[in-house]
């Protein structure tokens, strides 16, 4: 599948590593952080994340697809199917369209808070966003192509091209056939985001959307869908995106999003320390919570750095289905008193998963849904 080792020395395409004790963020991690970006947490106020505030993670370069090229863009569906398809965007629009509101989070969210820190894109807690995606249900495309009985997986290839740990590749991921053809978490081949064309950084002109799964599954700049009779063993499936404790460990695959609540940091910030300042008195604490096993059933808040917790008011999940995979708003009130405080929230989902207070560490730095801690200074003075 066009993946192969290149002749690169280790320092040109380095293996994964852990940062040493006290090692600051490296120039390479900073280069990733300057390109990719998170959601500024105050943007959690928006039900739908405005364009440019939704998190972005691109492995290689954003492919350049001017309008003339997107009109000619072809998605092929082949492999273990009876009728291979080659569809342009206009052909995809002739299928029934579905619009879903989906919260998407990078699997590496929380990585830079781990100790020891896996060296990669250094997310804190903000690699998330919510958008409305419009597209064709994947199961309709696969039905049109006719799935051969021996098919077990569906492999998706994007146009994003580069090298990773010595392997040159187009970005490529697979889904088990039951996930790809299910309609519980309806998988989409999406051609619209928030009612407009996909922006370049979100996969223009086509991307996969896999509600409930971490971002690595939502293949952008989608060009090829191939059904296979053996499990896919490409780099992004078998090497990257595994929960493993040791380098040799085969690990477990990264799939759905662990539950997480995020709070909008209250008051106003200091530019450099990002410490928050509030005035004494009643303070609205609000945020969003989500899980890949929806809905979220409980959000608790602490204002004394996890010594005590109380229940926040949580918006009910959307039972229509259109918003089932989107975050839920929560709120609570706090009477701030002068001094330093640490605020946090934690989510529990329908499957009974609770956000941990200690780090769920793994070598790749995936799925770290440890609670977000927000230091706040409450003073009687002018800030507020």
| Minimum distance from residue 42 beta carbon to its own copies (Å) | 4
Query: Residue written as tokens 């989906």?
Result: 102
Considering the rule CB under 8 A, would residue 231 count as an interface residue with its own copies? no
Minimum distance from residue 310 beta carbon to its own copies (Å): 25
Instruction: For strands 374-378 and 276-278, give the pairing.
Output: parallel
State how beta strands 98-105 and 128-137 pair. Answer: antiparallel
Q: Which stretch binds its own copies (CB under 8 A): 118-126, 207-215, 291-299, 314-322?
A: 118-126
Find, among 201, 131, 190, the residue nearest to 156 by Cα.
190
Is residue 239 a contact point for its own copies (CB under 8 A)? no
Q: Which of 224, 226, 86 is nearest to 151 (CA)?
A: 226
Q: Which residues are bridge partners to 135 per DSSP?
A: 98, 190
Does 341 participate in binding its own copies (rule CB under 8 A)? no
Sign of the torsion angle spanned by Cα atoms 11, 16, 21, 22: positive
Interface pick for its own copies out of 116, 146, 269, 360 (rule CB under 8 A): 269
Considering the complex, state which of residue 5 and residue 321 has its C-beta at the smaller distance from its own copies.
Answer: 5
By the rule CB under 8 A, 365 interacts with its own copies: no
**Contacting residue, 183, 184, 229, 270, with its own copies by CB under 8 A:** 270
The tokens of 176 are what? 């088990």
Specify the residue, 168 or 318, whose C-beta has the smaller distance to its own copies: 168
Question: Tokens 């492995």 identify what position?
Answer: 59
Question: Under a CB-based contact definition with an 8 Å cutoff, are residues 136 and 50 in contact?
Answer: no
Contact status: 34 vs its own copies (CB under 8 A)? yes
115 binds its own copies (CB under 8 A): no
Please report where in the chains the tokens 């507020």 appear, as a residue: 384
Contacts of 28 (CB under 8 A, 6+ apart): 119
Interacting positions 46-65 with its own copies (CB under 8 A) = 46, 50-54, 56, 58-62, 64
CB of 12 to its own copies, least distance (A): 5
Site string for its own copies, 141-170 (x = CB under 8 A): --------------------xxxxx--x--
Residues 271-330 binding its own copies (CB under 8 A) are 271-275, 277
Q: Does 104 bind its own copies (CB under 8 A)?
A: no
Residue from 134, 224, 246, 268 touching its own copies (CB under 8 A): that is: 268
Distance in Å, CB of 219 to its own copies, minimum: 16
Hey, what are 239's tokens? 């090497």
335 binds its own copies (CB under 8 A): no
Q: Distance between CA atoms of 200 and 251, rounded to whole angstroms?
A: 33
Nearest to 268 by CA among 124, 378, 152: 378
Q: Is 328 exposed, middle or buried (0-12, 13-18, 19+ CB in 10 A)?
A: buried
Q: Which residues contact 339 (CB under 8 A, 6 or more apart)?
A: 377, 378
Is residue 254 a contact residue for its own copies (CB under 8 A)? no
Work out whether 176 is an interface residue with its own copies (CB under 8 A): no
- The whole-angstrom separation of Cα 297 and Cα 314 is 8
Task: Name the strand (E) or helix (H) holding 330.
Answer: strand 328-336
Is 229 a binder of its own copies (CB under 8 A)?
no
Query: Residue 286 and residue 261: Cα distance in Å, rounded?
Result: 10
Exactly one of 28, 229, 249, 304 binds its own copies (CB under 8 A); that residue is 28
Establish if 95 lies at the interface with its own copies (CB under 8 A).
no
Residue 72 in contact with its own copies, rule: CB under 8 A: no
Q: Sketch the per residue contact string, 179 through 218, with its own copies: x for CB under 8 A, - otherwise.
A: --------------------xxxx----------------
Burial code of 217-241, b = ≥16 C-beta within 10 A, e = fewer? Answer: bbbbbbbbbbbbeeebebbbbeebb
Is 184 or 270 the residue whose CB approaches its own copies more closely? 270
The nearer residue to its own copies, 162 or 317, going by C-beta atoms, is: 162
Binding-residue total with its own copies (CB under 8 A)? 73
Q: Does 372 interact with its own copies (rule: CB under 8 A)?
A: no
């Amino acid at each position: 599948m066009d993946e192969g080792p290149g002749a690169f020395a280790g320092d040109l395409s380095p293996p994964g590593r852990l940062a040493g004790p006290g090692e600051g963020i490296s120039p390479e991690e900073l280069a990733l952080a300057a390109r990719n970006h998170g959601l500024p947490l105050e943007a959690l106020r928006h039900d739908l994340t405005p364009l440019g505030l939704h998190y972005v993670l691109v492995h290689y370069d954003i492919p350049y697809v001017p309008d003339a090229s997107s009109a000619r863009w072809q998605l092929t569906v082949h492999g273990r199917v009876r009728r291979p398809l080659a569809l342009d965007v206009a052909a995809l629009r002739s299928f029934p369209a579905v619009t879903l509101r989906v919260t998407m989070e990078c699997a590496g969210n929380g990585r830079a808070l781990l100790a020891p820190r896996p060296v990669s894109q250094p997310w804190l807690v903000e690699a998330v966003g919510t958008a409305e995606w419009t597209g064709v249900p994947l199961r309709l495309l696969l039905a049109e192509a006719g799935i051969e009985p021996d098919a077990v997986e569906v492999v998706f290839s994007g146009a994003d091209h580069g090298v990773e740990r010595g392997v040159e590749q187009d970005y490529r991921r697979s889904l088990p056939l039951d996930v790809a053809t299910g309609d519980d978490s309806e998988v989409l081949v999406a051609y619209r985001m928030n009612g407009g064309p996909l922006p370049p950084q979100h996969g223009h002109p086509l991307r996969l959307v896999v509600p409930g799964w971490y971002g690595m599954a939502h293949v952008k700049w989608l060009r090829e869908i191939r059904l296979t009779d053996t499990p896919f063993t490409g780099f992004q499936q078998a090497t990257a995106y595994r929960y493993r404790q040791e380098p040799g460990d085969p690990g477990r695959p990264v799939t759905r999003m662990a539950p997480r609540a995020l709070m909008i940091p209250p008051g106003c910030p200091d530019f450099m320390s990002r410490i928050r300042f509030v005035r004494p008195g009643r303070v609205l604490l609000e945020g969003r919570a989500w899980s890949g096993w929806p809905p979220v059933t409980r959000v608790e808040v602490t204002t004394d750095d996890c010594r005590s917790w109380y229940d926040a008011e949580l918006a009910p999940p959307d039972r229509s289905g259109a918003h089932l995979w989107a975050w839920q708003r929560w709120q609570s009130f706090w009477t701030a008193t002068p001094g330093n405080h640490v605020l946090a929230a934690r989510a529990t989902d329908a499957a009974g998963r609770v956000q941990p207070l200690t780090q769920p560490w793994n070598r790749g730095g995936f799925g770290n849904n440890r609670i977000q801690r927000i230091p706040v200074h409450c003073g009687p003075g002018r800030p507020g």
